[in-house]
Amino acid sequence: MVLSVATIFEGSRIIPSLQAAEVAWFALICLAIVLGAKYFVGTKKFGRFPPGPRGLPLVGNIFDLKRLVRDTKFHYRAWSRLAELYGPVVGIRLGFSDPMIIVSGKEAVTEMLNREEFDGRPDGFLFRHRTFGARRGIIFTDGTTWKEQRRFSLKNLRDFGFGRKTMEDIILNEAVTLARIIEEKSNDGPIRNVDRIATVAVLNSLWYLTANTRYDQEKEDAGLAEIVQIISDIFKDSDVSGGVLNYFPFLRYIVPGLSGYKSRNDRQMRVWHFFRNLVDQHKTSVNFHHGHRDLIDAYLSEIELQKFNSSSSFNELQLIALLKDLFTAGIETTNNSIGFVLLYLIANPYVQQKIHEEIDRVLGRNALPSIQTRSRMPYLNATVMEVSRLANVGPTTIPHRATADAKFMGFDIKKNYILLANLHSIHMDRGHWGDPKTFRPERFLDENGHLVKDPWMITFGAGRRKCPGENLAKNSQFLFLCCLLQKLRFELPPGEAAPCLDGINGFTISPPNFNAVAVAR
């Protein structure tokens, strides 16, 4: 049956006799026309758009990306494959989201990360959904809100010991405790889930300053375990491009289960309630006249001070989002990095042996390490750097957004385009590294065995959006690994095959689940 607009509508009212199926088809046709027009008009406004796969109307390059990820197994390899085909600056379109520009190679990435007009963060559906429907926190905000929240957080964390001797003592205490627990457990057989074994210890290092809370490494906290698992699952089930819900956010209304919205929403709600309860507990015990115990107290005090400032970015929802960001950053990348180092050492026992010899020479078996002793252990540092280069826990930066129209490497970058720095392309550049796929810590040592800092190692990004927790992460990695390897040797359990070193695809790259025998030295 052919229906004209006149037979379907009377004014703004749908004729009652029209069948529901016909209304649905008409709506879909109208949607297709509108979206087709949007796509056509949009493509005419791109100016000198970077080269890339042609794509299809409406869906853009979604199927191209899906095929590349299927072939290469990882999103970051898909970005590098696109760079091989089209050059250091590649433009793709993914559904209804703003165009994404993949930036690869040392020159292009360095320029992009240091351009202030590229310091924004994406504003798609999923980036708001993770913080309860608005742009909150410090990871996916920009402009004044980001500057205020970042400045406040870093200042107050420093007041409580972040980046100081207090922080070192907290990390060292957790590292020593972890080594003792593993040594005791080793008598009962192989250590399970070594890839996540440092999670609570790593979290405690930052969380004590944030929430005045230290979780017992020996007694599992059910609430904490659930949230840690949820956050891990979210990272593994997502990628930096945003995924289908970011390309087509309306799918959450049509197919909430199939699109992944229902499970994602359930997870986010549980995470959100965890931090909501934490804030509520602080509100019942905080005493502004007796000083602040932690960052949460300081933030609640700031909310009170600015309660009559209508333009203030300080409120309880912003605090919950900030806690979520700090909690996530506090466990995911550092914990993954430690897991990967242990995995590589199990796969390369001769490297582990060299580290043991260095620790014995510098510290012996009983003296505790410190940040000062880090400079005296070049081989351990070189190994951590080499694992970081190969494992690529953060193979790209968090997506950036152009805050203004700009020219970049000869191409037109319009406001709100998303830019993704492909760090993997730098860390695996054959022209610079020679044998990038080979695990060789010695590449970071000179002929005298001294550590060489290579400017091509930009694991933590660069520019104004560089990770503010870089020093904490490096100090944590060193102290944890030094304490563990001073007391223990890690080996594969008898009969178990070596796990794949590639890791697990996701927003970050996590080590595979693996077990190990921890032998007391």
Per-residue pLDDT of 390-422, as tens digits, reads 999 999 999 999 999 999 999 999 999 999 999
CB 102 within 8 A of CB 79: yes
User: Is 1 a member of any domain?
Assistant: no
User: Is 13 a member of any domain?
Assistant: no
Residue 161 DSSP symbol: T
User: Is 19 a member of any domain?
Assistant: no
Backbone angles phi, psi at 366, to 5 degrees: -125, -30
> pLDDT under 70 in the chain at which residues?
1-46
Give the DSSP per-residue string, 301-367: HHHHHTTT-TT----HHHHHHHHHHHHHHHHHHHHHHHHHHHHHHHH-HHHHHHHHHHHHHHTTTTS
Q: What is the dihedral of CA 54, 57, 59, 65, to 10 degrees?
A: -10
List the structure tokens of 106: 């040392």
User: Is 5 a member of any domain?
Assistant: no
pLDDT of residue 113: 98
CATH code assigned at 448: 1.10.630.10
How much is the CA Rg of the chain, to the nearest whole Å? 25
Q: 107-163 pLDDT, tens per residue?
A: 999 999 999 999 999 998 999 999 988 999 999 999 999 999 999 999 999 988 887
Query: What's the first-to-final CA gap in the chain, in angstroms?
Result: 82
pLDDT of residue 378: 98
User: Is 131 a member of any domain?
Assistant: yes
pLDDT of residue 19: 52
Quote the number of domains for the chain: 1
pLDDT of residue 46: 54
Task: State how beta strands 418-422 and 100-104 pair.
Answer: parallel
- pTM of the entire structure? 0.90
User: Is 335 a member of any domain?
Assistant: yes
pLDDT of residue 286: 86
- CB atoms < 10 A from the CB of 455, how many? 10
Residue 400 DSSP symbol: E
Instruction: For residues 87 and 410, give the distance between their C-alpha atoms in angstroms, rounded to a whole number.
Output: 12
Indicate the length of the chain as a whole number. 521
pLDDT of residue 498: 84
Check the annotation: does 30 bind a ligand: no
**88: domain range?**
46-520
pLDDT of residue 499: 85
User: Is 15 a member of any domain?
Assistant: no
